[in-house]
Every structure is written in C-alpha cells, then in structure tokens.
Chain A
Amino acid sequence: MVDKNIFCYFYIKRFLFNILFYSYFVLFTLVYFILAGLCFFTFFAFHTTGENRSRLRYYILLYGRLIIKYVIELFIYVKYTDKSIKYSKPCIYIFNHRSASDPFLVALLDDEMAQVVNRWPFKLPFYGVIAKKAEYMSILDLSYEEILKRTTHLLNKGVSIVVFPEGTRSGSNEMGQFNGTFFRIAKEYGCQIIPVCITGNEFIPDRSFKMHFGKIKVHKLKPITYDIYKEMTPFKLKNYVRRIMLEETQKMEAELENE
C-alpha cells in the first residue's frame, strides 16, 4: 500500500512537471519567435541573404541559450565545462547523442554553427523552415558530394558544423558506432575537430519525450588538430574520437553519481 502511494506520488509529480515544463517551453518559444521575428523583419529584411542566414543562426543560438537558462535550468541542473583551451574556428564539433535535448545544449558553445540533423526535424512545421534557412543539413537526403560541398561552403564562411555521428538518440548511456562522413570531410578540409560530451540527459526527455528530473553535464574537450589526425584513415579517426568521448563520458557519469 505504501509502495503504491509512493508510486502514485512520483507519477503525479512527474505528470505535473511535464505539463508545467512543456507549457512554459511552448509559451517561451512562441514569445521568443514573435519578438525575434519582428526584430528580424524590421531591421534585417533588406540585408543580403548571406547576412540574414548568419543572423538567423545567431537567433537560433540565442534561443537555445535562453531556453537553457530560463526554461531548462529552472527544473534541471546544467553544468558546462570548457576544457578546450584554445582552438581555431570554424571547426567540426562532434557530439554524443542521447536525447532530444542535445540540439538545445549545443547553444552552450560560443560559435556560429550549423547542425547536421536527421530527416525528421526538417519536417517539423516551425523548426523545419528555420533549420532550412539557417543552412542546416539533413544527412539522409544528401549525397556525400553534396554534404562535402555544403560543409566546405559553410566552413569557408566561418560557420562551424555540429555533428552527431551516432545518427540517432541512444536514450541510454550507451554510445553507438560513429558514422565516418564528417571525419572524411575533416580530413579533406583540414579543420580542427572538437569533441563535446553530454551526460545525464538520457531521460531529459526520454525517447517518448517525457521529461524527468536530473542533472546534465556538458564537457567541451581539447581540439584534435589536423597534425594529430592527418596520418589516420577516416575509419581510425572516427574510432579515435569515439574512444576519447567514451572515456570522458564514463568519467562524467562517475562524477554525476558522486555528486
């Protein structure tokens, strides 16, 4: 009977938390995009397309930061640690991928970025249009040559690329195998690779988008320079980066358990 009551208490608490979180999230998003939209069309409608795309990426970055600060951090502890020291931009950021909150947590990095995403975010009614305009790439709809062309174009403009090489959310603390596409591109372009590890958010939200309480840690690691990887094959490079990230996430999980 006591167990049943405790179960009911947690169920109701989580249910209310989800209602509160998503209501606030949607409201915040609507207000932000109305204000940002007004600002964009008032001040920047007559700028060139390139400048507007850059501003759009800035608005996305700002949106992500505000969502973290004023929505996520109201309920969840988020700690970001920058271990990267000094690195050159633009670069390719490699993220592990556990949950749908990862693309928001990308905003913790201070850089102009375009994300490489799966097909479904492009189909979302609101985000999809903005993602397209901001030159995000849908990995499943493009050939290697097209991805290389677009990535080179963005890097030449000073825009860094955010990649989730596991391809899909793991929903657990497992790390899937990496797809090597962007490691090949890094080798062709010669830019730095910055691994970024996220832990603690595997259920924030879970795979069915239910939010849970918890703590999230984000670590930006040291850059992997061209000098380090130029002799490696793309296959070896992707596994080298994966190994570094696997070790770091295991350390981060141990830290989370002890906190």
Chain B
Amino acid sequence: MKREEIVSLVNEVFEEYFELEQEELLPEKLLFDDLGLDSLDIVDMIVGLQKKFGINLRNQTGFQQIRSLKDVYDFLENIVMKKKENGG
C-alpha cells in the first residue's frame, strides 16, 4: 500500500467519524489543539482505523507519541510495512 493510499484511508476515517472537511485535514494539524479531538475521540479514531485497515491496533506501541495527523500517517505506514515484511 502506497503512502497516498494510507493518507486517503486515514482521511476517510476522520471525515466519517468526525465529519471534518477534507481542507481541514492537513498533515501538520495537531489532533487535540487544531482538530479538537479529545481522549474519547481517540478511541473512536482507533476503532475507525482498525476497521478501515483491517488490522488490530490494540497491541501496537507508539500510539502515545502521536500528536499530529502526519504522525498518524507515519504510524499506519510503519504498521502496514511491517505487516508486508511479515508476509501478512
């Protein structure tokens, strides 16, 4: 899966779950301060990403370091790559 596809799928989750506009979804936007998510919204976001990517994110480390939308893209890209390397 290419980076652009990952970005597009992540953005779809934000549009579906938080009804944010495409123009608002810029990589540098901070999830809490700029997009207005709170800790409970993060739970919704994880559920949405799990469904969209078909992967289990519960056991993944590194979620605590996520601050911006770009961090989410990087995080997912990393997981998708690892999955591919492991032949998943």
Contact = CB atoms under 8 A, between A and B. Distances in A.
A236 B18 contact: yes
A178 B41 CA distance: 11
Nearest to A236: B19
Nearest to A238: B36
Interface string B18-31: 11000000000000
A222 interface: no
A145 to B, nearest CB: 12
Contact of B32 (A144, A177, A233, A236): A177
B55 interface: no
B74 to A, nearest CB: 23
A234 B44 CA distance: 10
Contacts of B40: 144, 180-181, 184, 234
Contacts of A234: 40-41
A233 B36 contact: no
B53 interface: no
B33 interface: yes
B38 interface: yes
Interface size band for B: 10 to 19
Contacts of A180: 38, 40-41
A239 B35 CA distance: 10
Interface string B26-65: 0000001100111011001000000000000000000000
Contact of B18 (A184, A233, A242): A233
A177 B36 CA distance: 5
A60 to B, nearest CB: 28
- State which size class the interface on A falls in: 10 to 19
A235 interface: yes
A235 B44 contact: yes
Given A233-B17, A235-B18, A181 B38 contact: yes
B18 A177 contact: no
Contacts of A181: 38, 40
Interface string A159-201: 0000000000000000001111100100000000000000000
B44 to A, nearest CB: 7
Given A144-B40, A177-B36, A235-B19, 16 more contacts: A177-B33, A178-B36, A178-B38, A179-B38, A180-B38, A180-B41, A184-B40, A233-B17, A233-B18, A234-B40, A234-B41, A235-B17, A235-B36, A235-B37, A235-B41, A238-B36
Interface of B: 17-19, 32-33, 36-38, 40-41, 44
Which 10 residue pairs are nearest across A and B when measured between Cβ atoms?
Answer: A177-B36, A235-B18, A179-B38, A236-B19, A180-B38, A235-B41, A180-B40, A239-B36, A180-B41, A181-B40
27 contacts: A144-B40, A177-B32, A177-B36, A178-B36, A178-B38, A179-B38, A180-B40, A180-B41, A181-B38, A181-B40, A184-B40, A233-B17, A233-B18, A233-B19, A234-B40, A234-B41, A235-B17, A235-B18, A235-B36, A235-B37, A235-B41, A235-B44, A236-B18, A236-B19, A238-B36, A239-B36, A242-B36
